[in-house]
Structure 1
Amino acid sequence: MRPQVICLMMTSPDGSLHPSRWTKSPDGARSDWSALYEKVHKEHGGNAWMVGRVTMAEISKAGPHPPSEATEAKRPSHFARPGASSFAIAIDPSGKLHFSGDELYGDHVVVLLGSEVPDSHLAELAADGVSYAVSDTEEIDVGAMLELLAEKLGISRVLLEGGANVNGFLMVAGLVDELSLIVAPALEGKRGSDRVIEFGDEGLAGKVELSLLSCETLGHGAVHLRYSVRRPR
């Protein structure tokens, strides 16, 4: 059985994801909203968080570094710390991400990789103590990989935290159970701003349905909206 997946994002009412570009508000500051986000993150009780390649590259800024010693490149998976209690998951089909260690924010790193990723990259990850799973199909079957992580690592609830393309892809795939959205009292109003969720040129019409679970005022002018997510029947 795969873990429960909750897409947790913070946005402005006009859909911006970049607080550094937002207008100021008398209700609260960016630091207040960031603290609220972290509070909601903890309250969801996940034991893993997951992002796409672009978002993870902004978090882990390491560059390529071949291992200093010969390291075996195991396939299809390598779990360096099966006893870890919390995890940071990255979806990286082409094997472009690099890490300087096996943890981010105290969470053990796990990478989901495409089938064409070379052994040299797997060896680098293993040398850094990073866990990984390699897809056995041309297109990554994230659902199957999440089931594997549940079985091998005990991951039961994942907080999906971007980017927009990953959020949309997993929603269309039927892998997102809930959308948890924090809306802050600020605006960006800039043309071409990022979205919380994207799905190419097609969009999500006819592919996903939302149903309101709850609406809560968090303080500092922010609102927390929770929706169940399902594919149309």
Structure 2
Amino acid sequence: MKPHVICHMIVSLDGRIHPSRWTSSPDGASKAWSEVYEAIHEEFGADAWLVGRVTMAEMTKAKANPPGAGTQPPRPRHIARRDAGSYAVTIDRSGKLQFDKPDIGGDHVVVLLGRDVPDSHLAGLVAAGVSYILAEDEAMSIDPLLEVLERDFGIRTLLLEGGGATNGRLMAAGLVDEISLLIAPAIDGADGVEGVFDAGERLAGKAELSLLSTATRPHGLVHLRYAVAR
């Protein structure tokens, strides 16, 4: 078993995901659009949200945490807290992220790590009160890690919220069950800019999308929801 994964994103009309680059609109602005996005995030009532390393680094901005002393950090997982109301999950294959506290906005942090991350980094996470799960294989397959999130943390529904490479990786692996796309009345237009799904490969034949609902939202936004079948 794994959590029900919903990819929840806000995008421009051309599918780009960085609002700071978008055109403006008389219907609204990036702050108002962000508020609607967060309101939908809360409506889902998910147990956790997941972002990639780059996105999480923008949230934490933490310097290196001194490693804990004395005991060797546990492998393959460290569960600092099982009873959190919600969890902030991130993928950090090489162990680059640092944390100076165990939560993001009250959501307990769980880091999904590559199998060979050194003990020194794990000790720093333990000292910060952060939970972690090490991958079972060198390729860092994500599906076994999601199973641990469901089994050991009780995470039944997980919102996948970028960036594009992280979204694309889970979509290509067949791990996304639903897409929630909030479309803003804006355009990016630049070449080589990150999109919702940057899988590094064609996804044709790997997923089928079925429309679940459409809804207009305040400030010129349109909310689309799709079921993903494989």
What TM-score range do you get, normalising by the shorter chain? over 0.9
* Structure 1 match to 2:229: 230
The 3-state SS of whatever aligns with 2:166 is helix
> Structure 1's 170 and 108: CA in aligned 2 closer, same or farther, altered over 3 A?
same
Superposition map of 1:1-233 within 5 A: 1-67=1-67, 69-200=69-200, 202-231=201-230
CA displacement at 1:126 relative to structure 2: 0.4
* TM-score, normalising length: structure 1: 0.95
Whichever residue aligns with residue 194 of structure 2, its letter is D
CA displacement at 1:68 relative to structure 2: 5.5
Whichever residue aligns with residue 111 of structure 1, its letter is V
The 3-state SS of whatever aligns with 1:146 is helix
Between the aligned partners of 1:122 and 1:134, the Cα distance in structure 2 is 10
The 3-state SS of whatever aligns with 1:91 is strand
Between the aligned partners of 2:88 and 2:220, the Cα distance in structure 1 is 30
Whichever residue aligns with residue 228 of structure 1, its letter is A
8 Å CA contact retained: 1:66, 1:120: no
* TM-score, normalising length: structure 2: 0.96
Flag structure 1 segments of 5+ consecutive residues without an equivalent. none
Between the aligned partners of 1:71 and 1:88, the Cα distance in structure 2 is 26
CA displacement at 1:72 relative to structure 2: 3.1
Between the aligned partners of 1:125 and 1:227, the Cα distance in structure 2 is 36
Between the aligned partners of 2:149 and 2:156, the Cα distance in structure 1 is 9
Between the aligned partners of 1:42 and 1:142, the Cα distance in structure 2 is 25
Across the aligned residues of Structure 1 and Structure 2, the Cα RMSD in angstroms comes to 1.2
CA displacement at 1:125 relative to structure 2: 0.3
> Percent identity at matched positions?
57
> Structure 1's 123 and 68: CA in aligned 2 closer, same or farther, altered over 3 A?
closer
Whichever residue aligns with residue 156 of structure 2, its letter is S
Q: How many residue pairs end up in the alignment?
A: 230
8 Å CA contact retained: 1:6, 1:158: yes
CA displacement at 1:71 relative to structure 2: 4.6
